[in-house]
Structure 1
């Protein structure tokens, strides 16, 4: 991987913007915020902005920046994002240099320099590699964020794209910074009581088809009843993936703020990201998201997923 070329671009420019995908998860936030901290630690005089819509649930990962009104568009680095339409808060156009650092399957080229490794567990793993292979500096705060990013995207190292390389890099990260990795799990997995009550609702109302598709549709009234938002079901979806009768599970929550239905999709074996891409989404083969315009489009997506379940052989 051309990590040294990335370092050269970072060293070259004084004004750097770091972005990630819409609907940020811990890996997207951790990889982008940790990269900013590493650049600032290495080059204190550079102007570095990490941007995107705030995700209050993961505010412990750090703060996001507001871009100045007159932005000097020099270098844009986009982490954890395979295509332009999913970049949160900025367009690559007008920048002198654009770098993509991503671990999703290739969708489209938008960076002048692209680091794509779909065998990597997470974007955070790729930032760890970038730091270890260049002169970018590392401290405990940066290491903690990157550890959380890896743990979150691998679901505590359970997913099959967790490799020996992942363990080697994380082991080195822990050794070099002496982070207390056990305490880092608490903010990631502790949840308020209302979310567990909401999980009970999701389990009680999950529809499971004869072909093994599990899904639930959540309307505004239900979100208000449990005092949760459109992201909450997606944050709880991994609790639904271990149901024996379910091959693919989908949570679909109305998102009035973005005029869409926010869907999280998980699968044990069936490839789902291509279907997700038909509905303003995408992601990994077994873990994807989508944003259909309405519940009518959701029904079409569910039909496609159910057909995929029907065709699969256990």
Structure 2
């Protein structure tokens, strides 16, 4: 971290970005990082391929996240958060070419693509790493930054129920609450603020549930998503609510490809399955993008899962 801080201090202009399909950790860590850099007197722009999902727009300065670099903004350094590879940035990867890259992440599959790589797989979230950075630099957390970082650790631990809910994560959450983060308000915004359209879509998705031994699957077709831009983050967690299920899989149909979101209770490492298809992630949460029709991709993924985890586990 010493080298990282030295590089930050000597640089003046920063682009801060994170992975496509932004979630609570990527958004929370970005906003906190940008706030820290500005307090240090730096020029900062926060750019993502997509705007934040509606449920995260309650966060201070979330409306300042843009999808394109405005004319006249120049920068020498790119801070990339919560992304295991440059490919995970989408078209924003074009903006970091030729720049000095600071790579801060907690994914074990991170490719160490930066000029400086601070990758800590045992950390609960990238927000935990930004929290450590803020503390080391000695800047006061304050209520806004505390809320950003609390949102990150809350969502990446699944509401403090995933295996990455470590003692460090809980101690961090305690500090953030003392600094002004409101856990009840944040949880309400993140988990209890769905629109009627989101609930309707979720009901259609749950109707597709299939059980294959210890694995439950759901599928979200393009037809189900037609004429909607609803964010589906968190939908893949629902099948883990089934008793006796060790892994949940959500197949989301895209244009010529299928996004496969994998979740587990920690009994098996789903990142190993994601790696087979060019993806990655964590032991209990991973994803990959697979070319092909939905039915074909589903068959391939379940076939590989049987080989990886055993036929007895998945059933016939």
Displacement of 1:73 in angstroms is 4.2
> How far has the Cα of 1:228 moved from its partner?
4.8
Alignment partners' CA distance in 2, 1:71 and 1:217: 42
- DSSP-derived class of the 1:205 partner: coil
**Which residue in 2 is equivalent to 1:274?**
272
DSSP 3-state at the match of 1:261: strand
- In the alignment, the residues of structure 2 paired with residue 179 and residue 69 of structure 1 have an alpha-carbon distance, to the nearest angstrom, of 35
Structure 1 runs (4+) deviating above 6 angstroms are none
Counterpart residue number, 2:286 = 288
2:299 is aligned to 299
Aligned to 1:25: 23
Quick one: distance in 2 between partners of 1:300 and 1:313?
17
Shift of the 148–192 alpha-carbon distance from structure 1 to 2, 3 Å rule, reads same
Q: Which of residues 51, 59, 79 in structure 1 aligns to 2:47?
A: 51
> Structure 2 length normalisation: TM-score?
0.87
Confirm whether residue 310 of structure 1 aligns to residue 310 of structure 2.
Answer: yes
Residue 309 of structure 1: how far off its partner (Å)? 4.1
Q: Give the secondary-structure state (helix, strand or coil) at the position aligned to 2:93.
A: coil
Report the counterpart of residue 162 of structure 1 in structure 2: 165
Relative to 1, partners in 2 of residues 1:188 and 1:194: Cα closer, same or farther, differing over 3 Å? Answer: same
Query: Where does residue 94 of structure 1 map in the other structure?
Result: 98
Shift of 1:72: 3.4
Q: Give the Cα separation in 2 of the matches to 1:108 and 1:230.
A: 30
Matched-pair contact (CA < 8 Å) for 2:215–2:248: yes
Q: Is the 8 A contact 1:73 1:94 kept in 2?
A: no
- Aligned twin of 1:34: 32
Q: Compute the RMSD of aligned alpha carbons.
A: 2.2
TM-score normalised to the size of structure 1? 0.88
C-alpha spacing 1:136/1:299, structure 2 compared with 1 (3 Å): farther
Q: How many angstroms apart in 2 are the aligned matches of 1:277 and 1:293?
A: 14
Cα-to-partner distance string for 1:253-287 (whole Å, 9 max, x where unaligned): 2224xx53222110121111122123342111110
Contact 1:212 1:245 in 2 (8 A): yes
Asked if 1:254 is matched to 2:265, the reply is: no
**Contact 1:207 1:214 survives alignment (8 Å):** yes
- Name the CA distance, whole Å, in 2 between partners of 1:196 and 1:305: 30
- Provide structure 1 residue ranges, at least 5 long, that are not aligned to the other structure: none
Picking from 151, 154, 173, the partner of 1:151 is 154
Given that 2:251 and 2:259 are in contact with CA atoms closer than 8 Å, whether structure 1 keeps it comes out as yes
